[in-house]
Amino acid sequence: MEYFSERCIECLRSKDDKNAIFALDFPPKVDATELAKILSSKGITLYDWHKIVLMFYTKNRIDEFLEILDFLTKSEIDKKIYDKEELQTIKIKLLNCQAAYYLKLATKETEKTKREELFAKVLSVLNKSDRITINESLLFVLKGYLLFYQGSFDAALNYFENGQLNNDRSVTAHLGRVN
């Protein structure tokens, strides 16, 4: 695990290739929580956390993806390394990432009870993000999509409009309004 952690850091710090982390060879099974603990002790940037989470997702390593997201959104990342605003920004990004994943699962689910459970999970994650800040454009858009897929079209439209007001260049807010 230590070797893999060092390779992750090496790839993240690579100045030659911005996508080096995505080319990293994975061991068959990674203890994602252990990896997150090691990497957090090394003080990698919060932007890099987002890249690591996306790396697991793009490699279709969903269990590790969810495990790292869960670790990062539940634990306290070392506050001595990051300032409060930066910490809030990455937590919101990670929570929104987690909510978007569960929303994707919910929209594909055919069994009604499982679908409702996933919608509840999405709402729970979005509420955590909402407690950090309420003026996040993507948060409005995700809530809009949640309501849209639940059949509350007028309420969804209000969230898309709010997302658009916060960030007029938000493509997702414009797409939500078109739906």
The residues near 6 (Cβ < 8 Å, ≥ 6 apart) are none
Q: How far apart are CA 130 and CA 111, in angstroms?
A: 28
Q: Would you state the pLDDT for residue 2?
A: 66
Q: What are the pLDDT digits (tens) for 47-101?
A: 787 788 888 888 888 998 898 888 877 765 555 556 777 778 878 888 888 999 9
pTM of the model: 0.78
Q: What's the average model confidence in pLDDT over 40-44?
A: 73
The CATH number of 111-179 is which of 1.25.40, 2.60.120, 1.10.760, 1.10.287? 1.25.40
pLDDT of 131 > 80? The answer is yes
Q: Which of 143, 177, 179, 178 is nearest to 161 (CA)?
A: 177
Q: What's the average model confidence in pLDDT over 1-13?
A: 73
Q: How far apart are CA 42 and CA 170, in angstroms?
A: 34
pLDDT of 39 > 50? The answer is yes
Q: Which residue has the higher pLDDT, 13 or 80?
A: 13
Q: What's the average model confidence in pLDDT over 149-170?
A: 74
Per-domain residue ranges of the chain: 1-82, 111-179
Q: How many other β-carbons are positioned within 10 Å of the β-carbon of residue 38?
A: 18
pLDDT of 9 > 80? The answer is no
